[in-house]
Amino acid sequence: PFLRELEQHVFGVGVLKAAVKNTSVKLLDAFVDSAFQFVDYPLDPSQVRFGKPLKNISNTNVFEHSGKLYSIAENNLPQEIDILTLEALGDWDVNGAWNRSFTAHPKRVPGTGELVTMGIAATKPFVEVGVISGISSQTGS
């Protein structure tokens, strides 16, 4: 009944079927392009569209490790903070052992003081877990 009704309109059934098929192909192409386009980019998909995130924004969490205070956001390294002035003293890259984003909610191992963190990236390795010694000069991953 629906097709007969459509046949009465200006568009013929053949034209309508071709239009639906063409639209379906375009929709599928757009979906595939959007789903897989980030594979060719060395940056995160959000960075391709909006640029790299600002480095010094660390407004998600504050944590203490080995007697030092750090502020952190999910997109970068922690910032060491001066406890008296609350000034950022610079990135904490775990003595050069960590070069990716740092979770804003690291977990402390009870009894050992070790700090467990993770970082993600759009390129391999996609996820990395790190265990940082409770003594500030030692690191492990």
Structure tokens at 123: 């390129």
Closest CA to 128 of 105, 107, 99, 94: 99
DSSP 8-state secondary structure symbol assigned to residue 75: T
Measured CA to CA, the distance from residue 117 to residue 131 in angstroms comes to 6
Q: Residue 65 annotated as binding? A: no
Residues of each annotated binding site for Fe cation: 105
Residues of each annotated binding site: 105
